[in-house]
Amino acid sequence: MQVAVVLYDFVEPIEVAIIGTLSMAKRLSADLSYFTVSEAGGIVQLQNGLRVDTDFSFHDAPSSDVVIVTGGPGWRAQSTNPGMLAFLQARSAHGACIASVCTGALILAAAGLLSGKRATTKVPVVAPETCPLDTLCQSFPDTEGVPALVVDEGNVITGGGVSLCIDLTLYLLARFLGQDIAHETARIMEYSAASDANRARLPVLQGLAAD
């Protein structure tokens, strides 16, 4: 399982927890590898100033089984960025599973990857911000927006907002590497109780194409 984590300017720094979760899982499985990718490669500036040096550009990134699109205030610019949309469309066409966390779902929707599917995204906001789930439903009426922990539609998987990026990553580990790896990853990163609590309050929805 090779994972590409897509970063761009003004991603929320908490979503780097995706990489932290993958790092913990790599202790348990030699079958896991991952890298970061951005449009131009090199440095991207996350929300509130954190700078991250990404491994590859869209042009030179290796193939991957999974692509995870992060979220944050920069999603609006990325949803109209031809380079971002073309990258996701091409990866999807070549058989990669495309996943998103938080407002990354709105980028997937803009790329046409959520048409005719159910999807989730961030729900709680600080006024006067607009709820991203409402934005998804209003802007992309061919997508059924639902509040959920994870929505698995087979080749496209969306996760809830902010810290739920960890739950989405654990879900992907379970799907591609098995439940034992996911459960042990949650245990060693001291997230088992939080994972159980999140599953108790939010559904995991699986489409007919999901494993």
Are the C-beta atoms of 4 and 66 separated by less than 8 Å? yes
- State the catalytic residues: 102
Would strands 204-206 and 156-159 be described as parallel, antiparallel, or unpaired?
A: unpaired
Cα separation, 27 vs 139, whole angstroms: 41
- Is residue 32 within 8 A of residue 62, CB to CB? The reply is no
Check: CB of residue 68 under 8 Å from CB of residue 51: no
| Pair 122, 133: CB distance under 8 Å | yes
Closest CA to 32 of 66, 9, 68: 66
